[in-house]
Structure 1
Amino acid sequence: MRLGKVVKSNSHCDYLVEVDDSFDVADPPKPEDYGFGSFVKFEDLDGRHWAVGIVYNSQLFNPMFLNLGPRLSSEPDPLFTPDLIQETRTLLGVVLIGTLITQAHPPYGQHGIPRLVVPVNTPVVRMTATEIHQFHLNQNQQPQFCYYSLLLRYGGSFATHLTQQVLDDLADRQLFQGTEQRALEILCKELAWRNTMGSMR
């Protein structure tokens, strides 16, 4: 599902995405589609893959907020104001955590800061469960989770909570088996304990 498009970057791995609304597409995404910690991919319409990212922040942009100019005493009449549209927007902060190598069979993930700069207006799409699983496998089809430090460093003021949510989500999806799954669950418990102790200080 397409969520929106790139409108700005704050750094090489921190991008701002404008969510599509009913004026952009016939079936705009719902709030559940781009929640905190969602996995997304940056891909052109011709299928070129740029990067994989995680939603770490959201902003609501409303140009009418604190507008001290004159206002209408009632709702505008659409007959006389046919071009009046609501210019409120939803913006998503996305941290890039790697790329998905789709040319390989089977596909696999490459974790780390992507080398390429994602262009403005690049479409952003929510990843499927299968793509998330493929991204967490290396070239030898072994489980990997190598973007842990990226989330903690570039995940904004919610970095630890973001990392914990992503870990919990991966553990619930049962993407890993045996020892890897147990190690992931232990990491979840350790991070939850650190977050709890940190909030008590």
Structure 2
Amino acid sequence: MLLGQLANVSQGITLSRIQPTNPTMSERFSLFTMKEMNESLGFQISSREEEQFAEVDKQKQNQIVLTAENMVLINLIARKAVVVTNQHVGKIIPSNFAIVEVDTTKLNSYYFAWYFNEHPICQRQLRIATQGSIVSALSIQMLRELKVILPTREQQQRIGRMYQLLIRKKLLMTQRQQLEEMIIKQIMLNAIQED
């Protein structure tokens, strides 16, 4: 089936379109960025990077779509998909992301994220779709026409759950590595101070 038959696919907002002309008539929202995407994929946990915000004109708030749990976001340039978790709910989705609101009666969010990120048939479709273009960014129309292999609901849930656990394992391993590095650095600092 085509992704457009299984989900509503749209694009995030161009931030310049929602900027306030009057600072007193604005509201501040968190942004979903590559930092949150990398965290959601289990690649990076960095408290050093500050959260990014956008000021939104109060009269233009109806134009924005905020992240919701189990929504799938696709970075159009990096060509990676993530499922929004509870920790990233309520953030503005900028235009470098596609928003995939899946029909959960037909498609499991984590299964689709796995399929998009890992399945060789999907990877081949993405390569073909961006061949010959100067910037290999995906288009919303191309995503709507993406062919998705649709196993049974139970198989989707099993694959999706395994993918979710794989991401969780990657995240825990990254956290462990960062803690080990902090301990080693502190031991080295302590050794210098003792001399």
More strand by share: 1
Answer yes or no: same fold by TM over 0.5: no
Alignment TM-score, normalising by the size of structure 2: 0.24
Alignment TM-score, normalising by the size of structure 1: 0.23
More helix by share: 2
Which one has more relative contact order, counting CA pairs under 8 Å at least 6 apart?
Answer: 2
